[in-house]
Amino acid sequence: MTSSAMSKTLYVRVSSREDALDRFEAAWHLASGRKPPAPLALLSFADLPLLMKNLTPARWALLKALKTAGPLTIFALAKQLQRDYKNVHTDVSRLLELNLLEKNQDGQVSVPWQAVRAELKL
């Protein structure tokens, strides 16, 4: 996934499986029309505790620092954050899995998003 291939805004949602199926059905109906829907970058979690487990305050601080600094190696990022390399590596690995970060050919990581918008439904 590259930043040039998608929106610059990532939408993070807490929603049930039924809500995800409803969104899929709506997208399917839109896609059957003449004009394809705009791509939507979406990260969805089943509940708030799962969101908070994946987007911890330390990971959010990492994202903010990396967005400001630009592409860095994990070692340089750990040094800038004044955190243990192993913990930063673990956080970066998870954020890469969630597509909140990208890794380039030189092994540097970066934040491809201009904004992250959260929607929490009750």
pTM score, two decimals?
0.75
**Domains of the chain (ranges, CATH numbers):** 3-120 (1.10.10.10)
**For every one of its 122 residues, what pLDDT tens digit does the chain have, with 9 covering 90 and above?**
443 444 588 888 887 655 655 556 566 666 666 565 556 678 888 888 999 999 999 999 999 999 999 999 999 999 999 999 999 999 999 999 999 999 999 999 999 999 888 877 77
Task: Tell me which residue has tokens 């620092």.
Answer: 65
| pLDDT at res. 30 | 63
